[in-house]
Amino acid sequence: VEMKYIAICADGMADWPLDDYDGLTPMEIAVKPNMDDLAANGVIGSVQTIPEGMSPGSDTANMAVLGYDPRQYYTGRSPFEAVSMGIAMNDVDLSFRCNLVTLSSEEDISYEQRVMIDHGADDISSEEASILIAAVEKAFGSGDVNFYSGVSYRNLMLWQNCQDKFSLTPPHDILEKMILKYLPDKKSSSSNKILDYMQKSYDLLSKHPINLQRVKNKLHPANSIWLWGEGRKPDLMSFEKKYAIAGSVISAVDLIKGIGLCAGLMSVDVPGATGTIDTNYQGKVAAAMTALCTGSDFVYIHIEAPDECGHKGDTRSKIRAIELIDSEIIGPMRQLLAEKSIEYRMMVLPDHPTPLKIRTHVAEPVPFCIYDSTKQPLLKHKSGEKFSEKNAMVAGPFLPDGHKLMDIFLEREGCCGQHEEKE
């Protein structure tokens, strides 16, 4: 039987019990009949996607889910985005994520005393962001340092021929905190330069007409850049070589597209895919079906919304985001696959938890479920459980090495061992 493999990553979906909801998690509260059906008729378990000692980013987590051990392959977040944005990088170059953020805007305080209000400036539109990044490039861009606009607040700075090391902080980790302790240190001239760009960007951006208008419209102004996530050009082994299967990635965000592209997967652009709860769900389903019918036997569908809702601390929206993934992605996918009589394996999981309570990622295990439409004996037992953090933990196996999950999903487990490249 020809099988198609569909992995669905609901970014940041896993969470902690919520005090206001009788100790239930968003996954337990959300009405999600399709995920629950997959889990009940498939296997569930939990998996450690973030290797011990690494920081719980979507970069490391999604790499692991796609089968790449972050300990071996991770070279930083930003380079994946550079690949997705089509920016050429040399081995000696360093690329940085350049967020457009909202800092508190009290008068008569220094830059260091400002508070990180919003790591994404109210999900600023890509149109507005590109104008602001152009202004930043005009002011600070030079022969070896350049700024590129991406999607919404997720932009990029490329520093050619930079040998230095930095210690930079993700802005979504310091929401509502004073930035003083989290700014680049002044240990090197390069680090000072980064700090200088950030400081000066406040003066430039807080007065920019786009931000004056945003304030009028009661939107967070994108009044500073925030540089972090630096890294060098990645070198991933091809997914097709590793697993002997061709595949595609469908995501709104450059990071995930970039990881896919670096792994040799095709990246399908979906018009109106935004990375927010208002994303084009239908478009993602259509793109996935097209990919599956035109040479891809594997698709990786990534939905950013639950993570963003987690960062915002917005419980209702996070629950809604899970329900929408269930009703607008998983339900229609399964229906279309059944209509076309395509046998498939479907895996659903978050990359990492983004607990509403702390509004940032944690490095805890996440639940996964794997369903097989042919119900091969390989799936030893039906779980019979709803898909939740607790059920996955109690009922299922625990995988300490996240990058091995793909072997299980693609049934490459113990087949030959040769795809697992040892030194």
Q: What are the residues binding Zn ion (CB under 5 A)?
A: 11, 58, 307, 351
Report the sign of the C-alpha dihedral through residues 189, 193, 194, 200, in that order: positive
Q: C-alpha distances in angstroms, 135 versus 104, 161, 204, 262?
A: 21, 23, 8, 30
DSSP state, residue 182: G
Which of residues 229 and 332 has its CB atom nearest to Zn ion in the complex? Answer: 229
Q: Judged by CB, which is closer to Zn ion: 77, or 386?
A: 77
Q: Please, which residue, 42 or 170, has the CB nearer to Zn ion?
A: 170
Question: Least distance in Å: CB of 58 to Zn ion?
Answer: 3
Give me the residue label for tokens 């039906």: 382
CA trace torsion 412, 414, 419, 421 (10° rounding): 140
Q: Which is nearer to Zn ion, 12 or 221 (CB)?
A: 12
Q: In whole angstroms, how close is the CB of 321 to Zn ion at the nearest point? A: 13
β pairing state of 94-103 and 116-118:
antiparallel
User: Nearest-CB residue to Zn ion?
Assistant: 58
Q: Which is nearer to Zn ion, 6 or 253 (CB)?
A: 253
| Closer CB to Zn ion, 152 or 201, in the complex | 152
- Cβ partners under 8 Å of residue 20, min gap 6: 315
Q: To the nearest whole angstrom, how small is the minimum distance from the Cβ of residue 135 to Zn ion?
A: 29
Q: How far is the CB of 344 from Zn ion (least distance, A)?
A: 24
- Cα 419 from Cα 238, distance rounded (Å): 10
The least distance separating Zn ion from the CB of residue 84, rounded to whole angstroms, comes to: 15
Q: What are phi and psi of 229, to 5 degrees?
A: 65, 30
Q: Any bridge partners for residue 22, and if so which?
A: none
Q: Residue 9 CB, nearest distance to Zn ion (Å)?
A: 8
Secondary element (H or E) of residue 63:
helix 58-65
